Amino acid sequence: MIAIIQYNAGNIKSVENAILNLGYKCIVTDDAKLINSADKVILPGVGEASSAMKYLKEKKIDSLIKELKQPVLGICLGQQLMCKSSEEGNVACLGIFNSIVKKFPKRNITPHLGWNNMYDLKDVLFKGIKESDDFYFVHNYYCDLSLETIAVCNYIIPFSAAMKKNNFFGVQFHPEKSSKIGKTFLTNFLKL
């Protein structure tokens, strides 16, 4: 069973549909026992960091997430919440990744919206994926580069498109919105 953590963030339904379409059973929950007993855990999300962290703390899921031993995937805001802190709401986050979430420098166009590719792909999650393959991104904030970066994307500046530490994985892109290549990525995660 795949647990998708419910924490009042958007985009959870599309992640649930993507998992179901790949033939896996999943549940959307904020119940600590269900999350802890799941085979895999996904922390998805489109939303705002400080309100998301407030919900996780209120439900005491923040400390649970850090203790999980099964593979955990943070998507978009989910990856950002796994970092040390975020400039979005100036909030302390989960501290799994040694990275700070920052706002993109002001340019003519923000946010990073649309299709982009990545380079320096360094993990089995990218099996069957090439650096020329495009994924779908939508975000105003980014995770800076760190030793845990396993894929880099360029938008104004280079940033962590994917990160890994032990059983924790994070991606800034939306695999559930990235067509066939997104399915390949999610399948790689679900087969870990």
Which residue type occupies 55? Y
What does the block give as tokens for 166?
A: 């032990």
87 noted as active-site residue: no
Distance CA 127, CA 27 (A): 26
26 noted as active-site residue: no
112 noted as active-site residue: no
Burial of 111 (0-12, 13-18, 19+ CB in 10 A): middle
Contact status, residue 172 vs residue 153, Cβ threshold 8 Å: yes
Torsion angle, alpha carbons of 176, 178, 184, 189, to 10: -40
Q: Which of 16, 26, 76, 93 is catalytic?
A: 76
Rg, C-alpha atoms of the chain:
15
Contact status, residue 142 vs residue 110, Cβ threshold 8 Å: no
Distance CA 168, CA 145 (A): 16
| Side-by-side strand order, sheet with 157-165 | 26-29, 2-5, 40-43, 72-75, 168-171, 157-165, 149-155
Q: Which of 16, 88, 148, 176 is catalytic?
A: 176
Instruction: Tell me the catalytic residues.
Output: 76, 174, 176
